[in-house]
Structure 1
Amino acid sequence: MDNTTQDLWQCYQAPLFLLTQALSCDFSFAVITAHNPASKLLSPSQNRLLDRQLLREIELLGSPYRALVGAAPDLSHMEKSWAVFIDRTMALQLGKKFNQYAIYVVEQGEVSLVPCTLAGHDEVCLGKFSDYVQLVYELPDLST
Protein backbone atom coordinates (compact mmCIF):
# COMPACT_ATOMS: atom_id res chain seq x y z
CA MET A 1 0.00 0.00 0.00
CA ASP A 2 1.39 3.40 -0.94
CA ASN A 3 1.58 6.43 1.32
CA THR A 4 -1.11 8.30 -0.62
CA THR A 5 -3.62 5.51 -0.03
CA GLN A 6 -2.66 5.29 3.64
CA ASP A 7 -3.06 9.08 3.98
CA LEU A 8 -6.51 8.89 2.38
CA TRP A 9 -7.56 6.11 4.73
CA GLN A 10 -6.48 8.27 7.68
CA CYS A 11 -8.45 11.24 6.30
CA TYR A 12 -11.54 9.06 5.89
CA GLN A 13 -11.36 8.36 9.63
CA ALA A 14 -12.04 12.01 10.48
CA PRO A 15 -15.24 12.83 8.58
CA LEU A 16 -17.65 15.68 9.05
CA PHE A 17 -21.23 15.17 7.91
CA LEU A 18 -23.15 18.35 7.10
CA LEU A 19 -26.91 17.87 7.48
CA THR A 20 -29.87 20.22 7.40
CA GLN A 21 -31.77 18.01 9.89
CA ALA A 22 -30.63 15.47 12.44
CA LEU A 23 -30.92 11.84 11.38
CA SER A 24 -32.45 9.28 13.71
CA CYS A 25 -29.96 6.60 14.61
CA ASP A 26 -32.82 4.25 15.53
CA PHE A 27 -32.39 2.72 12.08
CA SER A 28 -29.27 1.56 10.26
CA PHE A 29 -28.16 3.52 7.21
CA ALA A 30 -25.15 4.07 5.00
CA VAL A 31 -23.48 7.25 3.78
CA ILE A 32 -22.54 6.89 0.12
CA THR A 33 -21.16 9.27 -2.49
CA ALA A 34 -20.50 8.96 -6.21
CA HIS A 35 -18.07 11.89 -6.27
CA ASN A 36 -14.43 11.40 -7.22
CA PRO A 37 -14.41 7.63 -7.88
CA ALA A 38 -11.20 5.88 -6.77
CA SER A 39 -10.27 9.24 -5.19
CA LYS A 40 -9.62 10.75 -8.60
CA LEU A 41 -10.66 14.40 -8.42
CA LEU A 42 -13.25 15.14 -11.09
CA SER A 43 -14.77 18.40 -12.25
CA PRO A 44 -17.95 19.63 -10.58
CA SER A 45 -19.99 18.77 -13.69
CA GLN A 46 -18.60 15.22 -13.80
CA ASN A 47 -19.40 14.78 -10.10
CA ARG A 48 -22.95 16.14 -10.60
CA LEU A 49 -23.54 13.61 -13.38
CA LEU A 50 -22.33 10.74 -11.18
CA ASP A 51 -24.43 12.04 -8.28
CA ARG A 52 -27.56 12.01 -10.46
CA GLN A 53 -26.79 8.44 -11.51
CA LEU A 54 -26.37 7.41 -7.86
CA LEU A 55 -29.64 9.12 -6.92
CA ARG A 56 -31.46 7.17 -9.66
CA GLU A 57 -30.03 3.93 -8.26
CA ILE A 58 -31.11 4.91 -4.73
CA GLU A 59 -34.62 5.79 -5.87
CA LEU A 60 -34.95 2.39 -7.58
CA LEU A 61 -34.29 0.73 -4.21
CA GLY A 62 -37.42 2.35 -2.78
CA SER A 63 -35.75 3.05 0.56
CA PRO A 64 -35.75 6.36 2.42
CA TYR A 65 -32.75 8.62 1.83
CA ARG A 66 -31.50 12.08 2.69
CA ALA A 67 -28.95 14.39 1.03
CA LEU A 68 -25.91 15.46 3.01
CA VAL A 69 -22.34 16.60 2.44
CA GLY A 70 -19.37 14.59 3.59
CA ALA A 71 -16.43 16.85 4.36
CA ALA A 72 -13.01 17.16 5.86
CA PRO A 73 -13.21 18.71 9.35
CA ASP A 74 -11.71 21.98 8.02
CA LEU A 75 -14.12 21.95 5.01
CA SER A 76 -11.16 21.89 2.61
CA HIS A 77 -12.79 18.98 0.77
CA MET A 78 -16.52 18.30 0.42
CA GLU A 79 -18.55 15.69 -1.46
CA LYS A 80 -22.29 15.45 -2.02
CA SER A 81 -23.43 12.26 -0.35
CA TRP A 82 -26.57 10.38 0.57
CA ALA A 83 -27.72 8.78 3.80
CA VAL A 84 -29.56 5.71 2.52
CA PHE A 85 -31.60 3.48 4.79
CA ILE A 86 -30.46 0.15 3.33
CA ASP A 87 -28.54 -2.79 4.71
CA ARG A 88 -24.76 -3.08 4.67
CA THR A 89 -24.69 -5.54 1.74
CA MET A 90 -26.72 -3.27 -0.53
CA ALA A 91 -24.68 -0.25 0.55
CA LEU A 92 -21.41 -1.99 -0.31
CA GLN A 93 -22.80 -2.96 -3.71
CA LEU A 94 -23.66 0.68 -4.41
CA GLY A 95 -20.27 1.87 -3.21
CA LYS A 96 -18.52 -0.65 -5.46
CA LYS A 97 -20.74 0.20 -8.42
CA PHE A 98 -19.63 3.83 -8.15
CA ASN A 99 -15.98 2.81 -7.59
CA GLN A 100 -15.72 4.24 -4.08
CA TYR A 101 -12.82 3.30 -1.85
CA ALA A 102 -15.11 3.25 1.19
CA ILE A 103 -18.52 4.05 2.60
CA TYR A 104 -19.77 4.82 6.10
CA VAL A 105 -22.25 2.54 7.83
CA VAL A 106 -24.25 3.67 10.86
CA GLU A 107 -25.65 0.95 13.12
CA GLN A 108 -27.14 1.61 16.55
CA GLY A 109 -25.79 5.16 16.43
CA GLU A 110 -22.19 4.07 15.80
CA VAL A 111 -20.47 5.02 12.54
CA SER A 112 -17.93 2.77 10.85
CA LEU A 113 -15.66 3.33 7.89
CA VAL A 114 -16.11 0.30 5.63
CA PRO A 115 -13.78 -0.39 2.69
CA CYS A 116 -15.43 -1.03 -0.70
CA THR A 117 -12.82 -1.13 -3.45
CA LEU A 118 -9.76 -0.34 -1.34
CA ALA A 119 -7.91 -3.57 -0.58
CA GLY A 120 -5.79 -4.13 2.49
CA HIS A 121 -7.90 -2.16 4.94
CA ASP A 122 -10.18 -3.32 7.72
CA GLU A 123 -13.40 -1.73 8.85
CA VAL A 124 -12.84 0.96 11.49
CA CYS A 125 -15.45 1.89 14.10
CA LEU A 126 -15.24 5.66 14.56
CA GLY A 127 -17.67 6.05 17.47
CA LYS A 128 -20.94 7.94 17.78
CA PHE A 129 -22.30 9.24 14.48
CA SER A 130 -23.62 12.35 16.23
CA ASP A 131 -20.02 13.32 17.11
CA TYR A 132 -19.32 13.78 13.40
CA VAL A 133 -22.46 15.74 12.50
CA GLN A 134 -22.78 19.47 12.00
CA LEU A 135 -26.25 20.85 11.37
CA VAL A 136 -26.37 23.63 8.78
CA TYR A 137 -29.13 25.89 7.49
CA GLU A 138 -28.49 24.70 3.93
CA LEU A 139 -26.01 22.38 2.26
CA PRO A 140 -23.01 24.07 0.60
CA ASP A 141 -23.09 24.61 -3.16
CA LEU A 142 -20.45 22.29 -4.62
CA SER A 143 -20.78 23.49 -8.21
CA THR A 144 -17.52 25.45 -8.22
Structure 2
Amino acid sequence: MNDSVETLWRYYKETEFLLTQSLSSQLSFAIITAHNPRGEVLTPCQNGLLDRQLQHEIYRLGLPYRAMIGSSQDRKHMEKSWVVATDKASAIELGRLFNQNAIYYVEADKLQLVPCLLAKEEAFLGAFSLRVNRVQEFPDIV
Protein backbone atom coordinates (compact mmCIF):
# COMPACT_ATOMS: atom_id res chain seq x y z
CA MET A 1 0.00 0.00 0.00
CA ASN A 2 1.20 3.48 -0.73
CA ASP A 3 1.72 6.12 1.94
CA SER A 4 -1.45 8.04 1.08
CA VAL A 5 -3.62 4.94 1.61
CA GLU A 6 -1.85 4.19 4.89
CA THR A 7 -2.39 7.80 5.96
CA LEU A 8 -6.10 7.59 5.08
CA TRP A 9 -6.45 4.34 7.04
CA ARG A 10 -4.81 5.98 10.06
CA TYR A 11 -7.22 8.94 9.79
CA TYR A 12 -10.19 6.55 9.56
CA LYS A 13 -9.02 4.88 12.78
CA GLU A 14 -9.02 8.25 14.59
CA THR A 15 -12.53 9.35 13.56
CA GLU A 16 -14.99 10.68 16.11
CA PHE A 17 -18.74 10.89 15.62
CA LEU A 18 -21.15 13.78 16.18
CA LEU A 19 -24.75 12.85 16.99
CA THR A 20 -27.77 14.89 18.01
CA GLN A 21 -29.41 11.91 19.76
CA SER A 22 -28.06 9.02 21.79
CA LEU A 23 -28.02 5.49 20.39
CA SER A 24 -28.63 2.37 22.44
CA SER A 25 -25.47 0.40 23.19
CA GLN A 26 -27.42 -2.74 22.26
CA LEU A 27 -27.92 -1.74 18.61
CA SER A 28 -25.97 -3.08 15.65
CA PHE A 29 -25.55 -0.62 12.78
CA ALA A 30 -23.30 0.66 10.04
CA ILE A 31 -21.92 4.15 9.61
CA ILE A 32 -21.73 5.03 5.94
CA THR A 33 -20.87 8.20 4.04
CA ALA A 34 -20.93 9.04 0.35
CA HIS A 35 -18.49 11.94 0.73
CA ASN A 36 -15.09 11.90 -0.95
CA PRO A 37 -15.31 8.57 -2.83
CA ARG A 38 -12.07 6.57 -2.96
CA GLY A 39 -10.53 9.20 -0.65
CA GLU A 40 -10.65 11.91 -3.34
CA VAL A 41 -11.65 15.24 -1.78
CA LEU A 42 -14.66 16.68 -3.62
CA THR A 43 -16.39 20.05 -3.41
CA PRO A 44 -19.18 20.56 -0.86
CA CYS A 45 -21.67 20.65 -3.75
CA GLN A 46 -20.45 17.32 -5.16
CA ASN A 47 -20.46 15.72 -1.70
CA GLY A 48 -23.96 17.07 -1.05
CA LEU A 49 -25.27 15.47 -4.22
CA LEU A 50 -23.67 12.11 -3.34
CA ASP A 51 -25.08 12.37 0.18
CA ARG A 52 -28.62 12.86 -1.15
CA GLN A 53 -28.16 9.86 -3.46
CA LEU A 54 -27.01 7.72 -0.53
CA GLN A 55 -29.93 8.84 1.62
CA HIS A 56 -32.31 8.01 -1.23
CA GLU A 57 -30.76 4.52 -1.59
CA ILE A 58 -31.04 3.84 2.16
CA TYR A 59 -34.67 4.97 2.05
CA ARG A 60 -35.35 2.84 -1.05
CA LEU A 61 -33.98 -0.21 0.77
CA GLY A 62 -36.39 0.46 3.64
CA LEU A 63 -33.65 0.62 6.25
CA PRO A 64 -33.97 2.68 9.45
CA TYR A 65 -31.38 5.46 9.47
CA ARG A 66 -30.25 8.60 11.26
CA ALA A 67 -27.92 11.44 10.27
CA MET A 68 -24.53 11.88 11.93
CA ILE A 69 -21.15 13.44 11.17
CA GLY A 70 -17.82 11.66 11.11
CA SER A 71 -15.09 14.05 12.17
CA SER A 72 -11.37 14.35 12.70
CA GLN A 73 -10.46 15.01 16.31
CA ASP A 74 -9.58 18.65 15.52
CA ARG A 75 -12.87 19.13 13.59
CA LYS A 76 -10.98 20.34 10.50
CA HIS A 77 -12.39 17.50 8.40
CA MET A 78 -16.02 16.41 8.68
CA GLU A 79 -18.21 14.18 6.53
CA LYS A 80 -21.99 13.84 6.63
CA SER A 81 -22.72 10.20 7.35
CA TRP A 82 -25.63 7.92 8.12
CA VAL A 83 -26.25 5.44 10.91
CA VAL A 84 -27.96 2.59 9.08
CA ALA A 85 -29.63 -0.40 10.75
CA THR A 86 -28.38 -3.21 8.54
CA ASP A 87 -26.08 -6.21 8.62
CA LYS A 88 -22.36 -5.87 7.93
CA ALA A 89 -22.38 -7.56 4.50
CA SER A 90 -25.15 -5.28 3.21
CA ALA A 91 -23.35 -2.26 4.65
CA ILE A 92 -20.14 -3.18 2.82
CA GLU A 93 -22.08 -3.48 -0.44
CA LEU A 94 -23.63 -0.06 0.15
CA GLY A 95 -20.17 1.36 0.84
CA ARG A 96 -18.87 -0.17 -2.39
CA LEU A 97 -21.85 1.21 -4.33
CA PHE A 98 -20.77 4.68 -3.24
CA ASN A 99 -17.05 3.98 -3.84
CA GLN A 100 -16.05 4.17 -0.19
CA ASN A 101 -12.70 2.86 0.97
CA ALA A 102 -14.26 1.73 4.25
CA ILE A 103 -17.30 1.89 6.51
CA TYR A 104 -17.72 1.52 10.25
CA TYR A 105 -19.78 -1.18 11.88
CA VAL A 106 -20.94 -1.19 15.49
CA GLU A 107 -22.10 -4.26 17.41
CA ALA A 108 -22.91 -3.98 21.12
CA ASP A 109 -20.89 -0.72 21.36
CA LYS A 110 -17.82 -2.28 19.68
CA LEU A 111 -16.59 -0.09 16.80
CA GLN A 112 -15.04 -1.75 13.76
CA LEU A 113 -13.40 -0.15 10.74
CA VAL A 114 -14.36 -2.36 7.79
CA PRO A 115 -12.69 -2.07 4.38
CA CYS A 116 -14.87 -1.88 1.27
CA LEU A 117 -12.44 -1.05 -1.54
CA LEU A 118 -9.12 -1.29 0.29
CA ALA A 119 -7.18 -4.51 0.76
CA LYS A 120 -6.97 -4.11 4.54
CA GLU A 121 -8.01 -6.19 7.53
CA GLU A 122 -10.92 -5.07 9.70
CA ALA A 123 -9.74 -3.00 12.64
CA PHE A 124 -11.42 -3.10 16.05
CA LEU A 125 -11.33 0.40 17.50
CA GLY A 126 -12.77 -0.03 20.97
CA ALA A 127 -16.02 1.32 22.37
CA PHE A 128 -18.14 3.36 19.97
CA SER A 129 -19.63 5.31 22.90
CA LEU A 130 -16.19 6.73 23.76
CA ARG A 131 -15.97 8.35 20.31
CA VAL A 132 -19.41 9.97 20.34
CA ASN A 133 -19.91 13.66 20.95
CA ARG A 134 -23.50 14.83 21.45
CA VAL A 135 -24.27 18.16 19.80
CA GLN A 136 -27.41 20.29 19.78
CA GLU A 137 -27.15 20.71 16.02
CA PHE A 138 -24.70 19.68 13.35
CA PRO A 139 -22.01 22.16 12.30
CA ASP A 140 -21.94 23.28 8.68
CA ILE A 141 -19.65 21.14 6.57
CA VAL A 142 -17.48 23.02 4.09
TM-score (normalised: structure 2): 0.98
Q: 1:47, 1:104 → 2: CA distance?
A: 19
Q: 1:31, 1:88 → 2: CA distance?
A: 10
- Structure 2 runs not aligned, ≥5 long: none
3-state secondary structure, aligned to 1:99: coil
3-state secondary structure, aligned to 1:86: coil
Q: 1:64, 1:30 → 2: CA distance?
A: 11
Tell me which residue corresponds to 1:101: 101
Q: 2:93, 2:61 → 1: CA distance?
A: 12
Runs of 4+, deviation exceeding 2 Å: none
One-letter amino acid of the structure 2 residue matched with residue 79 of structure 1 = E
TM-score (normalised: structure 1): 0.96
One-letter amino acid of the structure 2 residue matched with residue 61 of structure 1 = L
Q: Give the Å deviation of 1:63.
A: 1.7
Q: 1:85, 1:136 → 2: CA distance?
A: 21
Q: 1:64, 1:6 → 2: CA distance?
A: 32
Q: 2:85, 2:24 → 1: CA distance?
A: 11
3-state secondary structure, aligned to 2:56: helix
- Structure 1 runs not aligned, ≥5 long: none
Count, aligned residues: 142
Tell me which residue corresponds to 1:23: 23
3-state secondary structure, aligned to 2:41: coil
3-state secondary structure, aligned to 2:94: helix
Query: 8 Å contact 1:25–1:106 — kept in the other structure?
Result: no
Q: CA RMSD in A?
A: 0.7
3-state secondary structure, aligned to 1:53: helix
Q: 2:36, 2:15 → 1: CA distance?
A: 16
Query: Cα deviation per residue 1:55-102 (whole Å; 9 max; x = unaligned)?
Result: 011001212110000010111100000000000011001000000000
Query: 8 Å contact 1:28–1:106 — kept in the other structure?
Result: yes
Tell me which residue corresponds to 1:39: 39
One-letter amino acid of the structure 1 residue matched with residue 73 of structure 2 = P
One-letter amino acid of the structure 1 residue matched with residue 136 of structure 2 = Y
Q: Give the Å deviation of 1:25.
A: 2.4
Q: 1:3, 1:23 → 2: CA distance?
A: 35
Q: Give the Å deviation of 1:103.
A: 0.2
3-state secondary structure, aligned to 1:58: helix
Tell me which residue corresponds to 1:14: 14
> Does 2:89 correspond to 1:89?
yes
Tell me which residue corresponds to 2:126: 127
